[in-house]
Structure 1
Amino acid sequence: MGADELLSLAKTGDGEAFRDLVAPYHRELQVHCYRFLGSVQDAEDLVQETLLAAWRGIGTYEERASVRTWLYRIATNRCLNALRAGGRRPHDHAAHRPEVPLPEPSRRRPEPSWLEPYPDVLLDGIADQVPGPEARHEARESISLAFLAALQQLPPRQRAVLVLRDVLGFRAAEVAGILDTTENAVTSALNRARSALAKEMPDGGRETAPLPDSPRERRIVDEFTRAFETGDVAAIVALLTDDAWLTMPPLPLEYQGPDAVGHFLATVALCDGRRYSLIPTRANGQPAFGCYLRDPRTPIGHAHGVLVLELAGDRITAMTRFLDNSLLAAFGLPRSLRG
């Protein structure tokens, strides 16, 4: 059944036709909301709110824009409302207490980062979609942690304009319609957003990252896994770029450079003979791991968050350690390992 027929039936109150009409957009709407909110669960909640609002308003949908654009209009404004309300943030780890004192960071952000990793399995089929001709960022880059962390620093309105224009490729007139504003206002907000994003995004590296699951990527991941699981700080440091970052959302502390990262690993993460098991997965288009701290007295590994690597060339340019153990479930990983 074609989209026009599904739309006609949905307007008469046919719920099954409506579900078939919006189903192709569910996953891309989830990624869209994730870019705004930084949380998979919050993004899915907003998608459900979007689809409920669309169902309630389907009878008055005037078809002046495509169904896809109409859904993006609803989703974008739901995201902006959520950001203004400030209620969609993970509070459990805002007061995270480290087990040992943390060294002085290279940089201390004024606000915690509420970013969470996005499982690559949820990206299947989305990255292959061709964005509009106005897009400036490739699909892989626009879901990277570096891009999303920089995006979080933008005011909500600028965030919306940049995502709609430079990631999804909507035209200025379409974005103006989505946000109920003028094309001049869209252009002005976009220029400010691009300027701010350029200051936040790390220079270079993205173009030289090895392809996913390529031999080069697997070699780097294997070397890192061996070094981390054996507590070999020197070997980990040897894999880092000169400007590599270590971050631990939601903590606002950031460590840059091999010396700072190595000192943190030696005095905190791998101190006192701590050893980990790493279970490979993928997040935000990059290699990732479920981390499990080995219990020296039992054959059990206890959940210790999710670790995501960002690669450039043959080196690691960023290590992002997410402290929330509940994130493991989104990757199909257990809360503990045995043996």
Structure 2
Amino acid sequence: MSADTRLEELGVSGLGDVDEPAFSGLAERHRRELHVHCYRMLGSFEDAEDTVQETFLRAWRRRETFEGRSTFRAWLYRIATNACLDLLAKRRPEPATGGEVLWLQPYPDRLLDELPAGDADEPETVAVARETIELAYLVAVQHLAPRPRAVLILRDVLGWPAKDVAELLGDSVNSVNSALQRARAGMREHLPAERQDWTGGEEDTGTRELVRRYTDLSVATDIDGIAALLRDDVRCSMPPTPGLHIGRDAVVNDWIESGFEGMKHLRAVLTSVNRQPAVAFYLWRKREGAYLPLTIDVLRITGGAITEIVTFHDDRFPRLGLPERLPPDGNG
């Protein structure tokens, strides 16, 4: 049942006649998809949360402007997009540069599962929904200027007609089409040319085995073993810590310099974020008598090799629904 049908059931002709509890009920139905939309625009889980709250506040205050020419859902998307653009203008006047995004945060799959299911009869639609939430896409889109970024997401991800995007942004259709061409060109600069080279797609048996080997070798701090799993042009980053390492040698050298080989008593929990396999590592802390959160590695796997590792700090564990600690296993 759509939110617009609910309006009819409430016996009102527009949102101006809806009280606040009823309005909140209508808006909440779209919270998760709006949050994912804002996350694509902003790259930050927390900024997306703030922007959705701002969206609902603006929508309530401007409810009388809803004239029913578009769906309630589309009206909320318009407000959310403009809220994102306002935040970007205020907090990040310049897009990302250099291939890394310091404000990037992971998105838990358990929350992505709350999104409306894609049409199984349209595999291309399902693939786009999956690919455009993966970290490779998020990093690439953050390199676009805000308005072309909005055009790209509205047109290529949400499938909006150019005239609707033009109306939202206050531009002409020609301007929107030009911005879309620039945005697509910008994305090509930061994503491999072929889809299969930048997304692992659905997880298969080979992928699961590779993740298991990576996990076991990491717990054993076997750098040589891990290096054998990496593609020659592997990329490694750790937002918000600056530094993008490209190539197997550069990545391995960084691990050696950081003292990874001397790190003992690790445990790991397999998980998934952004529709990608991930491994949460815990380090034994004698004083606390438990394994406590350390880092989360999100893997991109292509052709049987690890092509990218994005590592997040321990402050992301609560958002991802991971345990706060693991009990002793007799090896501590």
TM over 0.5: yes
Matched residue, 1:211: 202
User: Is 2:103 aligned against 1:114?
Assistant: yes
Give 1:90-239 correspondences, 5 Å limit: 109=98, 113-126=102-115, 128-129=117-118, 138-204=128-194, 205-206=196-197, 209=200, 211-212=202-203, 214-239=204-229
1:300–1:338 contact (8 Å) kept in structure 2:
yes
1:104 equivalent in structure 2: none
- Correspondences of 1:1-339 after superposition (within 5 Å): 2-6=5-9, 9=12, 10-86=15-91, 109=98, 113-126=102-115, 128-129=117-118, 138-204=128-194, 205-206=196-197, 209=200, 211-212=202-203, 214-268=204-258, 270-295=260-285, 299-323=289-313, 325-339=314-328
Distance 2:101 2:201 in 1: 30
The one-letter code of the counterpart of 2:6 is: A
- Shift of residue 87, structure 1, vs aligned partner: 7.0
CA separation of 1:6 and 1:46: change in aligned 2, threshold 3 A:
farther
Taking a change above 3 Å as real, the CA distance of residues 281 and 127 of structure 1, as seen in their structure-2 partners, is farther
Counting aligned pairs with the same residue, the percent is 41
**How many angstroms apart in 2 are the aligned matches of 1:180 and 1:136?**
30
The residue type equivalent to 1:29 in the other structure is L
> What is the total number of aligned residue pairs between the two structures?
317
Q: Distance in 2 between matches of 1:135 and 1:76?
A: 21
- 1:100 maps to none
Equivalent pair of 1:120/1:282 in contact (CA under 8 Å)? yes
1:106-142 deviation per Cα after TM superposition (whole angstroms, max 9, x unaligned): xx93975210000011111437335x9x989701110
Alpha-carbon contact 1:135-1:170 (below 8 Å) kept: no
Q: 1:247 to 1:203 in 2, by over 3 A?
A: farther
Instruction: Find the residue that maps to 1:64 and give its secondary structure.
Output: coil
The runs of 5 or more residues in structure 1 that have no matched partner are 89-107
Gaps spanning 5+ residues in structure 2: where? none
Per-residue CA distance 1:20-43 (angstroms, 9 max, x = gap): 322332111000001122222221
More displaced 10-residue stretch of structure 1: 260-269 or 165-174 = 260-269
Instruction: Letter of the 1:5 partner, please give it.
Output: E
Q: Deviations 1:292-319 (Å, cap 9, x if unpaired)?
A: 2234787432322322111112221110
Query: Does structure 2 retain, via aligned residues, the 8 Å contact 1:30–1:47?
Result: yes
Tell me the secondary structure at the aligned position of residue 143 of structure 1: coil
User: For 2:198 and 2:307, how far apart are their aligned partners in 1?
Assistant: 13
Partner of 1:252, secondary structure, is strand
* Partners of 1:112 and 1:249 within 8 A in 2: yes
Closer, same or farther: CA 286–208 of 1 in aligned 2, 3 Å:
closer
Shift of 1:203: 4.0
Distance in 1 separating the partners of 2:286 and 2:6: 59
In the superposition, the TM-score normalised over structure 2's length comes to 0.86
Which moves more between the two structures, 282-291 or 297-306? 297-306
TM-score of the two chains, using structure 1 as the length reference:
0.84
* CA-CA distance at 1:51 after TM superposition: 1.2
Give the deviation of 1:276 after TM superposition: 2.5
In structure 2, distance between residues paired with 1:111 and 1:331: 22
Local SS of the residue matching 2:171 = coil
Give SS of 1:291's match.
strand
Shift of 1:6: 4.9
Alpha-carbon contact 1:246-1:318 (below 8 Å) kept: yes
Moved more, 288-297 or 116-125: 288-297
